[in-house]
């Protein structure tokens, strides 16, 4: 399955208020369908104070007025289904907003119906927090509540209290939310940071990270949390029965569960979370590092091969709303190599809006920044605003055709104008046209229609893997990537009958290929 992620705030503004909305997405459903994808993942659009832009939910049952109405969502859903697109929506079920009525009630005293709906703990004798757990967004993961004279736990902002998912009443309430949207007709859920829902009930301290130990892929190197191993603050074994409960509900509706799964060893954790009766698929930040590193990608390919032996299907992604855009991470001229790499991997792939255009990371000035993550760690870490700027639709219109407003919630990146949809649709050799060709090939090539995959030993920094289909024994797709900064020679003389399907940034001398820095070669042998 090929998934296209839409970040509603930045996709298309239909009413001229400077913020993207659901009718804007509906308007662009034909464009998404024309790409050839199978499903659309829509980031949160339910009611929220927007302190973390929708990942702080205050009402799970209604659309935030900024994005439209429930009727608008129903129209979007119907139009998507008419275009044979599945709709996957974000569900933030490990935490909510501190403005949600559940938390407002639960935080008012230690003796009310919601008193145990969140994770509360007494401070130490000296008044300090219960342990050393740190928030993803900086500082302690505990915040003091005067009314209860206790601390509450939050993995992210202080305004995002963590649910006590060990409480069956909480789980029942979330299951009711799931039922509401499934009965409306959605085709699946993307479960936000599902590994953060259960922590150690004994509240043991996380150990310090040794200096030699690499930082987990989902955490920037320069924030305090990078100094800990998150051994006790997340991914407790109690997560697994909860996932199984969610899967049982999803199966009743034939719905898909896509989990965001991270941590110290995300591939191993994703394998655990996608075992039989759990998530259908999961993705991690393993391929979302800031800089291309051949050794890291080689290990990723090896991990993919191990996962295939378990019979599980994973979702891979090189971009999303939380990380620097892949073209800027990998470097100039890398957008087509990245598309080939992601789309040639087995299993599922998630493409972030604008990835098909080869968009770069926008440089949002400090006075225009809105991301609390970036504002907390600026200038060492600029946060996520740069990958969330408005989508460029038409280079001849203000704000790239995204909005008719005088100003937009994030400034439009002027350099994206020449990469707009209308500009690229006029060019048969554009990145957009290239992306469509790869997607169409991926969906029609028999070798790509199963999870047949094997890593091929390679030297000199190359990454090589093959895709195959047991029903076509002599037909093999070989994928060769040079993600280094050096020219590497590769010989294709050993291939009896060989067709070059795709190539990026290489020079050919007969059967000897000179792979330039950041290049790709996709071969078909038959």
Q: Where residue 201 sits, what CATH number does that domain have?
A: 3.20.20.80
Tell me if 389 sits within 8 A of 364, measured CB to CB.
Answer: yes
**What is the C-alpha separation between 384 and 381, in angstroms, rounded?**
9
Q: Which of 192, 200, 356, 361 is catalytic?
A: 192
Residue 305's pLDDT is 66
Judge if 309 and 400 occupy the same domain.
yes
Tokens in use for 350?
A: 């998630």
In a domain, 258, yes or no: yes
**Placement of tokens 């199978």 in the chain:** 38
Angle 79-425-89 (CA atoms, 0-180°, nearest 5)?
35
The mean pLDDT value for 78-89 works out to 98
Angle between helices 335-344 and 431-444 (to 10 degrees): 10
Tell me if 157 sits within 8 A of 196, measured CB to CB.
Answer: no
pLDDT, tens digit, for every residue of 89-126?
Answer: 999 999 999 999 999 999 999 999 999 999 999 999 99
Number of domains, the chain: 2
Active site annotation includes 260 = yes
CA atoms within 13 A on the CB side of 295: 0
Query: pLDDT exceeding 70 applies to what percent of the chain?
Result: 96
pLDDT, tens digit, for every residue of 196-231?
Answer: 999 999 999 999 999 999 899 899 888 999 999 999
* In 235-350, alpha helices (H): 239-253, 266-273, 294-309, 326-330, 335-344
**What is the C-alpha separation between 450 and 290, in angstroms, rounded?**
30
> Which H or E element spans position 283?
strand 281-283
**What is the C-alpha separation between 513 and 462, in angstroms, rounded?**
13
Going from the C-alpha of 354 to that of each of 10, 172, 310, 326, the distances in angstroms are 10, 37, 33, 10
Residue 211's pLDDT is 92
Judge if 459 and 434 occupy the same domain.
no
The mean pLDDT value for 178-183 works out to 98
In a domain, 121, yes or no: no
In a domain, 466, yes or no: yes
Of the pLDDT bands very low, low, confident and very high (cuts 50, 70, 90), residue 35 is very high
Residue 394's pLDDT is 98
In a domain, 303, yes or no: yes
Q: Is the pLDDT of residue 63 over 80?
A: yes
Q: Which residue from 357, 480, 463 is spatially nearest to 418, judged by alpha carbons?
A: 357
Beta bridge partners of 6: 42
Tokens in use for 184?
A: 């409306």
Buried b (16+ CB within 10 A) or exposed e, 202-233: ebeebeebeeeeeebbbbbeebebeebebebb
Q: Give me the domain span that covers residue 509.
A: 452-525
Judge if 497 and 389 occupy the same domain.
no
Judge if 352 and 500 occupy the same domain.
no
Q: How many Å separate Cα 402 from the centre of its chain?
A: 22
Residue 17's pLDDT is 98
**Model confidence, pTM:** 0.96
Q: Which residue from 90, 88, 92, 91 is spatially nearest to 40, judged by alpha carbons?
A: 88
In a domain, 108, yes or no: no
* In 127-230, alpha helices (H): 168-184
Of the pLDDT bands very low, low, confident and very high (cuts 50, 70, 90), residue 309 is low
Q: Which of 52, 187, 260, 466 is catalytic?
A: 260
Tokens in use for 171?
A: 């789980």
Residue 289's pLDDT is 76
Judge if 395 and 473 occupy the same domain.
no
Active site annotation includes 192 = yes
Q: Is the pLDDT of residue 498 over 90?
A: no
Tokens in use for 21?
A: 């909305």
Of the pLDDT bands very low, low, confident and very high (cuts 50, 70, 90), residue 308 is low
Q: Is 441 helix (H, G, I), strand (E, B) or coil?
A: helix
Tokens in use for 326?
A: 């892949």
Judge if 174 and 249 occupy the same domain.
yes
Of the pLDDT bands very low, low, confident and very high (cuts 50, 70, 90), residue 287 is confident
**What is the C-alpha separation between 460 and 358, in angstroms, rounded?**
28
Which residues are CB-contacts of 418 (< 8 A; sequence separation ≥ 6)?
A: 395
**What is the C-alpha separation between 193 and 170, in angstroms, rounded?**
17
- How does DSSP classify residue 346? S
How many residues are recorded in the chain? 526
In a domain, 146, yes or no: no
Mean pLDDT over each residue of the chain, to the nearest integer: 94
Tokens in use for 490?
A: 């590769």
**What is the C-alpha separation between 49 and 51, in angstroms, rounded?**
6
**What is the C-alpha separation between 69 and 112, in angstroms, rounded?**
32
Judge if 227 and 330 occupy the same domain.
yes
Judge if 416 and 479 occupy the same domain.
no
Judge if 437 and 498 occupy the same domain.
no
Tokens in use for 333?
A: 């001229």
């Amino acid at each position: 399955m090929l998934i296209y992620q839409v970040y509603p705030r930045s996709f298309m503004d239909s009413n001229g208020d400077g913020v993207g909305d659901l009718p804007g997405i509906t308007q662009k459903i034909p464009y998404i369908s024309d790409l050839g994808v199978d499903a659309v993942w829509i980031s949160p659009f339910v009611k929220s104070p927007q302190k973390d832009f929708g990942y702080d939910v205050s009402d799970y049952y209604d659309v935030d007025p900024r994005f439209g109405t429930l009727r608008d969502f129903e129209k979007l859903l119907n139009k998507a289904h008419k275009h044979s697109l599945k709709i996957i929506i974000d569900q933030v079920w490990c935490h909510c907003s501190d403005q949600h009525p559940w938390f407002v009630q639960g935080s008012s005293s230690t003796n009310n119906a919601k008193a145990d709906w969140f994770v509360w703990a007494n401070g130490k004798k000296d008044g300090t927090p219960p342990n050393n757990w740190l928030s993803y967004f900086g500082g302690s993961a505990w915040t003091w509540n005067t009314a209860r004279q206790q601390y509450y736990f939050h993995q992210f902002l202080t305004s995002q209290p963590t649910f006590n998912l060990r409480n069956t009443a909480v789980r029942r309430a979330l299951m009711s939310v799931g039922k509401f949207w499934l009965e409306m007709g959605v085709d699946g859920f993307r479960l936000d940071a599902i590994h953060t829902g259960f922590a150690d009930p004994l509240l043991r301290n996380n150990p310090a990270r040794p200096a030699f130990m690499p930082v987990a892929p989902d955490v920037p190197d320069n924030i305090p949390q990078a100094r800990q191993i998150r051994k006790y603050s997340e991914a407790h074994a109690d997560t697994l029965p909860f996932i199984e409960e969610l899967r049982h509900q999803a199966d009743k509706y034939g719905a898909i569960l896509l989990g965001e799964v991270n941590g110290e060893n995300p591939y191993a954790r994703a394998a655990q979370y996608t075992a039989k009766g759990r998530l259908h698929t999961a993705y991690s930040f393993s391929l979302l590092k800031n800089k291309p590193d051949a050794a890291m990608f080689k290990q990723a390919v090896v991990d993919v091969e191990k996962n295939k032996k378990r019979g599980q299907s994973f979702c891979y992604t090189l971009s999303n709303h939380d990380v620097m855009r892949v073209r800027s991470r990998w470097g100039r001229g890398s957008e087509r190599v990245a598309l080939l790499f992601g789309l040639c991997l087995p299993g599922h792939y998630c493409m972030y809006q604008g990835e098909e255009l080869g968009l770069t990371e926008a440089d949002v000035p400090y006075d225009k920044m809105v991301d609390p993550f970036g504002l907390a760690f600026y200038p060492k870490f600029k946060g996520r605003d740069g990958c969330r700027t408005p989508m460029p639709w038409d280079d001849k219109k203000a704000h790239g055709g995204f909005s008719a407003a005088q100003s937009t919630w994030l400034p439009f990146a002027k350099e994206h104008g020449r990469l707009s949809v209308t500009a690229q649709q006029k060019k048969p050799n554009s990145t957009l046209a290239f992306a469509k060709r790869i997607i169409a090939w991926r969906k029609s090539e028999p070798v790509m229609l199963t999870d047949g995959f094997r890593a091929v030993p390679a030297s000199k920094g190359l990454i090589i893997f093959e895709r195959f289909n047991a029903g076509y024994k002599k037909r093999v797709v070989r994928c060769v990537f040079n993600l280094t900064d050096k020219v590497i020679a590769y010989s294709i003389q050993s291939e009896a009958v060989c067709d070059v399907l795709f190539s990026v940034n290489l020079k050919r001398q007969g059967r000897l290929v000179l792979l330039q820095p950041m290049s790709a070669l996709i071969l078909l042998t038959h």
